[in-house]
A = this chain, B = another copy of it.
Amino acid sequence: MHERHGIGKKTHRLKPKVQAFKLLKVFLLYLSMHNTALGRDAAMSVYTDLSLQEMQDFSEQFDFGGLKSFQGVEAGVENTTYFVSFNQAETVLQIFEEQGFDEVPFFIELNRRLSKDQVPVATPFANKFGDRLFTIKGKPAALFERVRGSTVCPISADACRQIGEALGKIHAVTQTYQDLRRENHRWSNWWESNVDRVIDLTPKDHRTTLKDQVDRSREFVESTASLPQGIIHGDLFCDNALFHNGQLAGIIDFYNACDGCLLFDLAITINDWCSLPTGRLFAETTAALVDGYNRFRPLTTEEIARWPLASETAALRFWMLRLVALARRREGGPQAPPHVKDPNDFLNILIARRADPQCDLISG
């Protein structure tokens, strides 16, 4: 029952005869004239529309046996994302709506090197001429391998161990990527300058928590100069990791990656993967994630000592991110986000860490 049925058991490379090829061209032209491109998705998050003709033109520079199908993806909230199937490769096309030609090469090169260094990420593909950065309708674009897998649910200790290992690997191997640099745009300057904008959106009895935490986190930020630095993912939440048959298949969405404090990146990751709905850390998953991490980059004694403030600061960072999104929604305009996740998820985590940072789970 589980075998493949019917015609077309194998994929074949398109070998158009001249006559048929002319027909194809006319058909494509017809489609684009009538604006009914097969494969264009009407989802809100496809910002840059591509017709079949345009996708066909783009795809011809790749040696993947010809275009098979494509579809716009809803998941991307900042960039335009298409799943593009070639006869010999499954790919993801990213058209960058926010970042410019000066920034995108960082993401492409980071993924390329990580992939080469055996970290499970989406490899960026080169065209026939060796290029990996493309221009589509005046915007930068890249074509990545499509990672096969799905998010893990519910979160297991084994998944956390694998995530810890992958993050440890990322932090270890990127130490050699000395020429890859990107500034952290959402560090203390960013959240400090946004406190007044969001203060009335925070629960009344936690406005002092916000202000006090900003002070505490300033102390942490100033201390990070003496902590290990490198390239951080910045957003390794559980919806950015795809698993296949129980194995981590790929970490995606490096668009928040930048230079930063490695312990802060670990804290961001642990806060999402290992927090219970109360905000407290769950012992088994936290220990597994830290164990996995230590295999590739052992935490230093100083880092372990800085865990409480790192963890609070990571919670503050995402509390502020959601509060600012709420503020942007209130302010309106074309860039106002239609939906904002509940900021209180991170307030709960912050309160729990301030009450008890559970250091024993980090020190092992």
Contacts and interface: CB of A to CB of B under 8 A. Distances in A.
B35 A38 contact: no
A351 interface: no
A361 to B, nearest CB: 14
A154 B27 CA distance: 47
Contacts of A157: 277
A71 B49 contact: no
A121 to B, nearest CB: 19
Contacts of A272: 154
Contacts of A150: 75, 151, 239
Contacts of A16: 34
Given A71-B85, A345-B156, A35 B23 contact: no
Interface residues of A, number: 79
A82 to B, nearest CB: 11
A37 B23 contact: no
A339 B30 contact: no
Interface in A275-326: 275-278, 282, 284-285
A264 interface: no
B66 A69 contact: no
A130 interface: no
A26 B150 CA distance: 39
A151 B148 contact: no
Copies in the complex: 2
B71 A69 contact: yes
A85 B74 CA distance: 13
Interface in A104-160: 137, 148, 150-157
Nearest to A341: B246
Given A12-B34, A14-B34, A69 B70 contact: yes
A363 interface: no
A169 to B, nearest CB: 22
Interface in A60-84: 66-71, 74-75, 83
Interface string A236-255: 00110000011000000000
Contacts of A39: 38-39, 68-69
B41 A85 contact: yes
Given A1-B97, A69-B70, A9 B49 contact: yes
A98 interface: yes
A355 interface: no
A335 B3 CA distance: 8
A149 to B, nearest CB: 9
User: Of residues A154, A156, A285, A341, which shows the largest number of chain B Cβ atoms within 10 Å of its Cβ?
Assistant: A154
23 contacts: A2-B335, A4-B46, A4-B47, A4-B49, A5-B49, A5-B137, A6-B50, A8-B35, A8-B51, A9-B49, A20-B30, A24-B30, A38-B67, A38-B68, A71-B83, A71-B85, A75-B150, A151-B153, A156-B345, A157-B277, A245-B338, A245-B339, A277-B284
